[in-house]
Structure 1
Amino acid sequence: MLDDFLIRAALAGIGAALAAAPLGCFVVWRRMAYFGDATAHAAILGVALALALSISVFAGALAVALVMGLAVSTLSARDHAVDTLLGVMAHSALAFGLVAASFLTNIRIDLMAYLFGDILAVSRTDLGVIWGGAALVLALVAWRWQAMLTATLNPELARAAGIDPRREQLVLTLALALVVAVAIKVVGALLITALLIIPAASARPFARTPEAMALLAVGVGIAAALAGLGASLNFDTPAGPSIVAAAALGFALSTAITAFRRN
């Protein structure tokens, strides 16, 4: 069954949605969209270094994304202007990654695939990496769910309960790095943040509990992945951007339904 490239692409999209959607809820709650952008853009530098050192692209993207996330967390804790800091680091990391990739003259690299994804070229090995990474992210989020949720909603209450908000921030950083490394093959570095944020934002108006929001976000993410692949097949459009476009249409529908219910 896995010989069919469309089956592999669909499974890859589902795996990426499973990893990104629950984590995207925390990104939305904490208003960390720029943080996700900085981590995702840094992955391009990780890809270039991985190819130069002949190591796994997944390992390279994960390592550099994790370093970026830790650096941003450390600097923001020292009263730097967070929005400015994230903007500088996100675009700098992307620029250094593209410059580093240009020096790889002896290695063939398709930058468009890493910037916007190449889900239709996912191999069995890639599929194993995506689902393995998704399982790690889900296990990490399930393990620290209550602690991260408390630290997100009320840091003072978290401290009173013996929960260190900074530790939970580091756990979230690790999980984000894993999602970036997993999803870069599916939607690319420039669109990963959309896969994190849009399903969670679409699910938010219909969820009465944080757990319900996470489950709804997973459903929206999976639906967007499958709808985007269907659109790509039928209209010959790029698969990664088509997935994000499908998610954006879902968000528009969610917003319209919410407005209708209010009126």
Structure 2
Amino acid sequence: MITTITTTIPANMIDDFMIRAGLAGLAIGLATGPLGCFVVWRRMAYFGDAVAHAAILGVALALLAEIHVMIGIVFVAIMVGLAVLQLSGRTLAADAILGVLAHSALAFGLVAVSLIKGPRLNLDAYLFGDILTIQPTEVWAVWAGAAAVIALLLWRWRGLLTTTMNPDLALASGLNPKVENWVLTLCLALVVAVSIKIIGALLIAALLVIPAAAARHFARTPENMALCAAGIAATSVLIGLWASFQLDVPSGPSIVCASAVIFVLLGLAGRIMRT
């Protein structure tokens, strides 16, 4: 006699982890949308990649030092970002500096992880994200980090915008472009730190760039573009999360795929409206 045993997952358990994932994803979308606008305006997509790749080195150093992973990620991401700002234009072009730091930080991070004693760390969650396993305390941490990024952007919005559009005008207005660059680097580091569990270090730059690029099709002002980008990023996260759960596929790539589809659809819609 063959007995078939079936197991079911309680509906309330599904609801709990989906709600946690949705709340965390919503926070990341609201933060990456406006921040991504500055990445697009400044053509800093590769800069975001460098900071995100440095997150793996931050994870390894945090585990070796036995401190919280987010502390290590923020520290290393800020150091890499500031190194790019200091070195660019001195001996090598900015893109060359970014390439060296991005790939070097990732490589050193992978080597450092392999040196950690004990059970081997599974890097998949950090490289590609694993939003469905996020815990309640992590949701609070994500919202705190996202709120800090949004607060920084609101506080320095005029200075960041003026420096982005015309650095000379910013200097004439009494602004210090270096300070604005440091604020932007801090925002990128915070976003990378709180979103690495959700979207993954290899895909964070995509969530920064694609929603902002999609919002460009309809936005008429910088503020309008930032709001549209936040809405598109949040929608992409929620759609990608739903697709990940329904199709049993990785959550990080699903979120990026959703944002790419929205980008194409909005681009086609914008072209139709202009004809």
TM range, smaller chain: over 0.9
Higher deviation after alignment, 107-116 or 142-151: 107-116
- Give the unaligned 5+ runs of structure 1: none
- Give, as a single letter, the amino acid of the residue that structure 2 aligns with 1:221: A
TM-score, reference length from structure 2: 0.93
Cα deviation for residue 126 of structure 1 reads: 0.9
| Pairing 1:231–2:268 present | no
The equivalent position to 2:69 in structure 1, one of 24, 46, 57, is: 57
Contact 2:241 2:255 in 1 (8 A): yes
| Pairing 1:181–2:193 present | yes
Contact 1:115 1:189 in 2 (8 A): yes
- Give, as a single letter, the amino acid of the residue that structure 2 aligns with 1:201: A
Contact 2:35 2:208 in 1 (8 A): yes
Cα deviation for residue 20 of structure 1 reads: 1.0
Q: Deviations over 1:42-85 (max 9, x none)?
A: 00000011111111111110110010000011001525211111
**CA–CA distance in 2 between the matches of 1:166 and 1:52?**
33
Query: What is aligned with 1:252?
Result: 264
Query: What is aligned with 1:135?
Result: 147
Cα deviation for residue 108 of structure 1 reads: 4.1
Q: Deviations over 1:89-120 (max 9, x none)?
A: 11111011011001113144210110000101
Query: What is aligned with 1:113?
Result: 125
SS of the residue 2:105 aligns to: helix
SS of the residue 1:206 aligns to: coil
| Pairing 1:75–2:87 present | yes
- Give, as a single letter, the amino acid of the residue that structure 1 aligns with 2:30: L
**CA–CA distance in 2 between the matches of 1:230 and 1:143?**
34
Higher-Rg structure is: 2
- Percent of matched pairs sharing the same residue: 59
Higher deviation after alignment, 253-262 or 129-138: 253-262
| Pairing 1:170–2:189 present | no
Contact 1:51 1:57 in 2 (8 A): yes
**CA–CA distance in 2 between the matches of 1:108 and 1:149?**
44
| Pairing 1:191–2:211 present | no
**CA–CA distance in 1 between the matches of 2:125 and 2:21?**
14
| Structural mapping, 1:96-111, within 5 Å | 96-111=108-123
Query: What is aligned with 2:157?
Result: 145
Cα deviation for residue 124 of structure 1 reads: 1.0
| Structural mapping, 1:77-96, within 5 Å | 77-78=89-90, 80-96=92-108
CA distance change for structure 1 residues 77 and 173 in 2, over 3 Å: closer, same or farther?
Answer: farther
**CA–CA distance in 2 between the matches of 1:130 and 1:108?**
26
**CA–CA distance in 2 between the matches of 1:140 and 1:110?**
33
Q: How many residues align?
A: 263
Shift >6 Å, 4+ stretches: none
**CA–CA distance in 2 between the matches of 1:249 and 1:222?**
14
Contact 1:51 1:107 in 2 (8 A): no
**CA–CA distance in 1 between the matches of 2:244 and 2:264?**
20
Contact 2:40 2:213 in 1 (8 A): yes
- Give, as a single letter, the amino acid of the residue that structure 2 aligns with 1:103: L
Query: What is aligned with 1:40?
Result: 52
